[in-house]
Structure 1
């Protein structure tokens, strides 16, 4: 009962923030927040928006299979954010963009523009729906199942709440609500860590020393270049992951483009990028402490790392003395999932209206599209639940990760060459590149025993770039 009250109270706070933040609900507020957002609020809120509910559950469990080597990727993130701040943001601000894919139209032509926008729309819809599906499953298990609420109603309720507080203000609302949600997320995380430390009968100093001396705290891997956890592979992949999944992603860039000036946007990007290392260090440290608690209590460590934190929250490691722990867990999950899903739905609405329909000022269209995107989001989540296949979800995540490569290739070709490309071949190249990339990955594993990790993104982008170069021409497509 207290969990339901907490979720409702949380929603009403979001609604209150939304009403205070947005006094004039027009397209300029929805798409660009009037370019008046304080950079420090955008930076702080973006940390929470980048941490989904899946991250909240999965990252602590990573220590079981990869120790703390994920921090190598996070260090690469910093390089990626610097590249965005000083290479991409100047271009976006110079062109005064609402959607970043407009750049592709101005530089490479209409076919490149539409191809980039559609790749984003499909990838973001499927990827965001999968993430939110996992969160809805957790909420069903912890909250709604005991109340006899069907899964469909659970999903419809959660997405409806997001629609209610974003339908008028869009990105203007998100700048303020994400700040509040980031506070809630980290408050919940820190309190859960504190409760684990108490359960271990540690002081905070003891906890720090226990984490530092634990074998699961191994960070740097330089010994085996074939390993997916090899430092340079993870570090460089981290940089490219950020460039593509932040710098070339309308979802992640839309709020950054609401800052008043380019310099403020660059300060936002750099500070936000550096914050990822300590943020993920907290999640991984929680994972190490949970492993120690499982061992101390003689409880078998789960085969799936995703079960590490939920088992503790459900009282399967030590008996619960109050409902505070499940309440904190649900609060953290809701804060992380809302701040991730609301920005995804807003950016999908923006991209469809601006890129596909090319109607910046049609408020009626924007309202209809926003509602339609939310309903489609519900449909995807319910479909995943109906199919109920873990292997299918893993496959969808893999497919989505492949689809960002063509965006990397398109933007790289536009930024680093002065060439143009035959418009009829752009969709062919962008669709073919992920399939060729998959074939190379399978062949490398079979013939060389080489296992691709995050570097698949770089290979995919390179293949797209080469394909575009082979279809190059020296005359702009819009002059022929």
Structure 2
């Protein structure tokens, strides 16, 4: 029989948690007083372009492995099974596409803001439109990244809700403001290491509790959690090979290929070779996190296979399962629960710090520098002030999220994916379609956003029928069962939970095939809409002439994927773009396999101030 535990945080747990925050703040102080002391924007925003592959690769992994992911993904395995494991293939494909197709374009142009590229490719209006879309996306995400883990931990461990929010927000804001991107990257290294240690200890201790890892897989297999063979083409199935690797792949390509938070890390590398090496490490790191997620979800299910805490009413939401589980198995070991809470908040800190730095960079590079042309020292202080302001804004957003209730929280989480797809479509138009003009790009982005919001929000208010795998509370011990609160707390509770699919309600074709599609396909739909509308509009309004484009603005995809073809055939596939000519403006020279050149923003800045950045 399984009994409800009442373990809460103790003094040693708080000590361990505070220690992590102090070390993170210390890293910021170190980079504020050593080296160049963050006096120039080059050092502050792109780490002086001096970083090597491994720390940047670890930072890439940590950036979007948020606390929401750490809390929610094991519960995904718990209730839906191991089809989630196919994300490992999606991560690999996405990282390789990023390394050889998307990232080299930005790196060779040496942009600081990825939206500077959009102005060089189209015009300033498209640049500001893309940047504004990114700002909306990240502002929502910041509040969620802080509030969601704090709420889950407060409900289960008794950890003070707003104490956690303020601690996370202020510490993150502090080290980002004074330490710049170097501090963000090295704290990411620390925080990812803590996350890996947390997963490892949870898996080892949890599997011992149920009789070993072989017993974990036996129970999971008997209850239908081990499943890798969904290859159907039905878009309504939540997780299939195709929805994960096509839809999920595009979702993560938007995050790793064109998102400012990630591109800024590539640009901090000392050479293109190091930036590509960071992408390779990203494959390893993401798959290690995925392994931890899958195994911890299976171990947790083996522990509660006959007593689901959510169905039993012991937790109020599925993202509270992991903190409940860790307090269950480690509650008698002072300090260890604090380590796991530190691991969860490490994920939150890495996501928030990346967001603060990237949002401040886009405002600095896309608005402050082009319109106000401040002196170098002033510009650096403005960038630091923006980081500070965004840090306080993220804490305010946490309060707003808390007031909206859980349903709007779910909507806000989906907004991140719904906005990422159209942005990926916009950059793909710019990089791969030489005929696309500024009107096509702008209308394509707007159309993609409209369609993405339509299907995403419609899917929330018209959810598909329940598809969770059955769970049980047959082995639960209820000390004070209350049938009015817990209808299943009886002497003979049912074998399965209320999520067993009910008889289907009457649904229209739109509800079945549009709102009922897998959430992973939202990005695929919006990317497709953005590309189609962008291309059609461009030809209607007067297509861009490919031979007039600066060659470095386009990716020579045929040279990458069809390198075995004779050169004369590859030239035809260039579609008129002059890839054999000098690909960047200004003086360009090789630097350890990379490139160093001045962007047109820097050239204009230098003309006004007669200085070099």
Asked if Structure 1 and Structure 2 have the same fold, meaning a TM-score greater than 0.5 normalized by the shorter chain, the answer is yes
Deviations 1:71-107 (A, max 9, x none): 2233112111111100112111110111111111100
Q: Pick the aligned partner of 1:302 from 310, 313, 317.
A: 310
Alignment of 1:364-375 (within 5 A): 364-375=381-392
Residues 115-124 or 354-363, more deviating: 354-363
Q: CA deviation at 1:70?
A: 1.4
SS of match in other structure, 1:321: coil
CA distance in 1, matches of 2:164, 2:25: 19
Structure-2 residue corresponding to 1:128: 142
CA distance in 2, matches of 1:79, 1:365: 38
Question: What is the root-mean-square deviation of aligned Cα atoms in Å?
Answer: 2.7
On the 8 A contact 2:50/2:268 being kept in 1, the answer is yes
Deviations 1:194-252 (A, max 9, x none): 221222232x5655666677631212312463423121221112321222111110012
Structure-1 residue corresponding to 2:125: 111
Q: CA deviation at 1:312?
A: 1.8
Q: Pick the aligned partner of 2:416 from 381, 397, 400.
A: 400
Alignment of 1:353-368 (within 5 A): 353-358=364-369, 361=376, 362-368=379-385
On the 8 A contact 2:251/2:420 being kept in 1, the answer is no
Alignment of 1:382-421 (within 5 A): 382-387=399-404, 389-421=405-437
Aligned CA distance change for structure 1 residues 196 and 354 (closer, same or farther; 3 Å)? same
On the 8 A contact 1:237/1:454 being kept in 2, the answer is yes
Structure-1 residue corresponding to 2:204: 194
Deviations 1:379-398 (A, max 9, x none): 111111123x1111111222
CA distance in 1, matches of 2:150, 2:258: 28
Q: CA deviation at 1:266?
A: 0.7
Residue 64 (1) aligns with residue 74 (2):
no
On the 8 A contact 2:16/2:339 being kept in 1, the answer is no
On the 8 A contact 1:81/1:242 being kept in 2, the answer is no
On the 8 A contact 1:41/1:176 being kept in 2, the answer is yes
Larger Rg: 2
Q: CA deviation at 1:40?
A: 1.1
Alignment of 1:324-473 (within 5 A): 324-358=335-369, 361=376, 362-387=379-404, 389-423=405-439, 427=442, 429-439=444-454, 445-446=510-511, 448=513, 451-472=517-538, 473=542
Aligned CA distance change for structure 1 residues 300 and 205 (closer, same or farther; 3 Å)? closer
CA distance in 1, matches of 2:38, 2:267: 18
CA distance in 1, matches of 2:166, 2:433: 46
Q: Pick the aligned partner of 1:250 from 260, 280, 290.
A: 260
Deviations 1:20-54 (A, max 9, x none): 34522122222110111121121123223331111
On the 8 A contact 1:422/1:471 being kept in 2, the answer is no
CA distance in 1, matches of 2:415, 2:25: 35
Aligned CA distance change for structure 1 residues 229 and 365 (closer, same or farther; 3 Å)? same
CA distance in 1, matches of 2:192, 2:288: 14
Q: Pick the aligned partner of 1:30 from 24, 29, 44.
A: 44
Matched residues, number:
467
CA distance in 1, matches of 2:222, 2:350: 34
On the 8 A contact 1:64/1:305 being kept in 2, the answer is no
Q: CA deviation at 1:323?
A: 3.0
On the 8 A contact 1:166/1:346 being kept in 2, the answer is yes
Aligned CA distance change for structure 1 residues 4 and 82 (closer, same or farther; 3 Å)? same
On the 8 A contact 1:228/1:451 being kept in 2, the answer is yes
Residues 275-284 or 251-260, more deviating: 275-284
Residues 116-125 or 301-310, more deviating: 301-310
- Structure with more relative contact order (C-alpha pairs < 8 Å, separation 6 or more): 1
- 5+ long unaligned stretches in structure 1: none
TM normalised by structure 1 equals: 0.89
Aligned CA distance change for structure 1 residues 156 and 327 (closer, same or farther; 3 Å)? closer
Structure-2 residue corresponding to 1:39: 53
CA distance in 2, matches of 1:185, 1:422: 43
Q: CA deviation at 1:128?
A: 2.7
Structure-2 residue corresponding to 1:13: 23
Structure-1 residue corresponding to 2:234: 225
SS of match in other structure, 1:300: coil
Aligned CA distance change for structure 1 residues 15 and 306 (closer, same or farther; 3 Å)? closer
SS of match in other structure, 1:322: coil
Q: CA deviation at 1:407?
A: 0.9
Residue 87 (1) aligns with residue 101 (2):
yes
CA distance in 1, matches of 2:172, 2:309: 36
CA distance in 2, matches of 1:435, 1:291: 39
TM normalised by structure 2 equals: 0.71
SS of match in other structure, 2:520: coil
CA distance in 2, matches of 1:324, 1:169: 29
Aligned CA distance change for structure 1 residues 224 and 413 (closer, same or farther; 3 Å)? closer
